[in-house]
Structure 1
């Protein structure tokens, strides 16, 4: 099979539309199916936060979500695996957008895409939680300011956004990829070596039980980022790319292990809200891999609807704001206004998507190019 032409290196982050890439034998097209899959993963996480776990959302509902959704809550509990699917997509897209790009441009694209919506979300949630009629406690002013750096996790500072722990994982992945691939220049061999080296180092870090190695190498998340990179090699060099498939298979084997070991518990565990059978966890991870494989191989090229690009643009701001502001919206609609849970759930999702569109339209679109130009200067 002949080598596919290299894709244009356009900016890309978790919340921006997928870059334009060439389709074999056709003109430029977008991987719009990847946009749709990203939004699906975000909705999975939202379903988990609203109906698949207990905690603050239980206070918002007035009782455990297991009581509000006696049947659906068991399915919602699998929504947390949307994060692992996010990480695989991130590996694919970061490898795509970083290929052939100088380090300064790579850094500028990451910062300019991630921070505007993030800053707006931190400020918005802080202000809402500080309102006297909102039942949830806001973080201290100093912690809120520290959150603007996106470095609150390593500093042990209270988080404004519950989902920001995933951004800390993304930042470490970006740093590793930038130093090992973008800085020396991306080649097929160098990318494959990076995947093999990171896989081995992450396994060693797990065995060593060293906190510094765990922070740098992220053993439980590394397989998913690495799997996404393997999928991009398959997308770029064709279905016969042996190295790409080897990377994907090893990442799936290790990824399902970490997902089960971190998210499974016995069915009779006292005080456990949800029970996810290990086979169910493996099945969800496998389905995510299969869907990304279909995209990488061009099998979902027919899913080329323009609204998927909009869906991809909404994903990142929706992901940032849905959890904490969702608590407030659920409490307002369900307890204050008396709407049933079956109506409250979709209304909150729609409201969070609408707010995400506002952040995209009035924050990301005007600020992202300005911030990028400032960094490049």
Structure 2
């Protein structure tokens, strides 16, 4: 494909599914999306590999080179940025709220529901064999509705498909954004930023675990940081090259340092969604994003094409990678050479399988399904003026 269509064809290929037709793709943001997904996959892969190696009597030392769990923070910050970037022609329009919600629901819901249903089928099969307990109907409905619930009675607000906890935050943020998108851009961004701060303040007095407690954790400020960077780009703010380099260097140093050591805990430990996470991951990542976008978008070098393509399939990669982990664990139970493999060999295998699955799902399920639903949803809906800010798009 590279030889036939060249870099331009690939740049067209990495446009996010469901992007507004009048917006342009930022390949640097796409590459960051791919990095976010890979960070999550590698982090989870290390936990799965540690379980396999430990069960075989060995020891696996996880890497703390990067705060792998910060991939989620990167996703949230990019989400805030992209909402500003992609909604340039929606701000201040009378029917903007409905179009925004249609676009977001078409983009997020179908694949998540499909993956949740597949996971429930696997869980049902395991339950019949005496494995994990099957969740009740209320927990299943809450999962499909993106409502935080104590699925297994352990006071942990995870949906049936664990990874959906991040989408519970995403959908909540979309609801907040939909409330304000009918306002002019500056007023809308100021209002949603104020709402996020107010919610975190409310969270200091809300007992948990509960849905309100979940939605008022400081991690929601990651979306606000992305909004702030998006607002700067929308206003045409740029930094000189040396300023962007210094900002990136400081952000990277802060991220790698992880001064509160919140991302190097024991394997499988969930990082709390509180202030230390925002300080150690949110702010440094926002600095890296600002360094990437507060200036001219560079041409896409060929060496970065794979990263941009992974970014385009990042949603599929995020959702399907647990199945690569499950497959590896099952193979380890049945095949000696898999069970006795080195930890990082297992992680590498999981990453490769996850990427293959993700590209297949993105190519043959996510993209055609989203495009089909987008056409059906847009048909008959009132059109909006094609007014696009110079520095906006998705």
Normalised by the length of structure 1, the TM-score is 0.72
1:183-221 alpha-carbon deviations (Å, 9 max, x no partner): x234223312431x2244134213323567944852312
Tell me the equivalent position of 1:227: 225
Distance 1:126 1:332 in 2: 21
Does 2:73 align with 1:84? yes
Measured after TM superposition, the shift of residue 307 of structure 1 is 3.9
Q: Which moved more, 1:146-155 or 1:81-90?
A: 146-155
Q: CA deviation at 1:374?
A: 3.6
In the alignment, which residue of structure 2 is the partner of 1:151?
A: 146
Correspondence for 1:313:
312
Aligned residue number for residue 4 of structure 2: none
Matched, 1:69 2:68: no
Given the superposition, is the C-alpha separation of residues 359 and 348 from structure 1 closer, same or farther in structure 2, using an over 3 Å criterion?
Answer: same
Q: Distance in 2 between matches of 1:151 and 1:328?
A: 26
State the aligned residue count: 331
Instruction: State whether residues 33 and 311 of structure 2, in contact with CA within 8 Å, keep that contact through their aligned partners in structure 1.
Output: yes
Structure 1: gaps of 5 or more residues: 1-14, 23-27, 242-251
In the aligned structure 2, how far is the partner of 1:117 from the partner of 1:308? Answer: 22
Aligned position for 1:114? 108
Q: Which residue of 2 aligns with 1:164?
A: 164
Query: CA-atom RMSD, angstroms?
Result: 4.2
What are the within-5 Å matches in structure 2 for residues 263-274 of structure 1?
263=262
Distance 2:166 2:331 in 1: 28
Counterpart-to-counterpart distance in 1, 2:362 and 2:263: 36
Q: Is the 8 A contact 1:117 1:364 kept in 2?
A: yes
Query: Which ranges of structure 2 fall in alignment gaps of 5 or more residues?
Result: 1-14, 91-95, 153-157, 240-250, 381-394
Mapped to 1, the partners of 2:214 and 2:24 lie a distance apart of: 36
Give the drift of 1:100.
2.8
* CA shift in 2, pair 1:110/1:342, >3 Å: same
Partner of 2:335: 336
Corresponding residue number in structure 1 for 2:286: 289
Does the aligned pair in 2 maintain the 1:161–1:320 contact within 8 Å? no
Residues 261, 18 of structure 1: alpha-carbon distance in 2 compared, 3 angstrom cutoff: farther
> Where does 1:201-216 land on structure 2 (aligned, <5 Å)?
201-209=198-206, 214-215=212-213
Q: Which moved more, 1:300-309 or 1:322-331?
A: 300-309
Distance 1:344 1:30 in 2: 35
- CA drift of 1:363 comes to 1.5
Cα drift, residue 310 of structure 1: 2.3
Q: Deviations over 1:254-307 (max 9, x none)?
A: xx9xx9889379x9xxx887799x999956545422321122213662346554
In the alignment, does 2:29 pair up with 1:38? no
- Asked if 2 retains the 8 angstrom alpha-carbon contact of 1:60 and 1:327, the reply is no
SS at 1:153 equivalent: coil
* Number of the residue aligned with 2:178: 178
Q: 1:214 to 1:261 in 2, by over 3 A?
A: farther
Q: Structure 1 residues 284, 69: closer, same or farther in 2, change over 3 A? A: farther
CA contact (8 A) 2:74 2:282 kept: yes
8 Å Cα contact 2:222-2:278 kept in structure 1: no
Corresponding position of 2:82: 93
The answer on whether the counterparts of 1:121 and 1:317 sit within 8 Å (CA) in structure 2 is no
Instruction: Tell me the SS of whatever aligns to 1:221.
Output: helix
TM-superposed CA distance for 1:373, in Å, is 3.6
- CA offset at residue 362 of structure 1? 1.9
C-alpha contact 2:18 2:370 (8 A) present in aligned 1? no
User: How far 1:93 sits from its partner (Å)?
Assistant: 0.6
- Residue 123 of structure 1 is aligned with which of 100, 117, 127? 117
CA distance in 2, matches of 1:106, 1:359: 25
The DSSP-based 3-state class of the residue aligned with 1:74 is coil
Partners of 2:142 and 2:159 within 8 A in 1:
yes
TM-score scaled by length of structure 2:
0.69
Mapped to 2, the partners of 1:368 and 1:275 lie a distance apart of 31
Q: CA deviation at 1:165?
A: 0.4
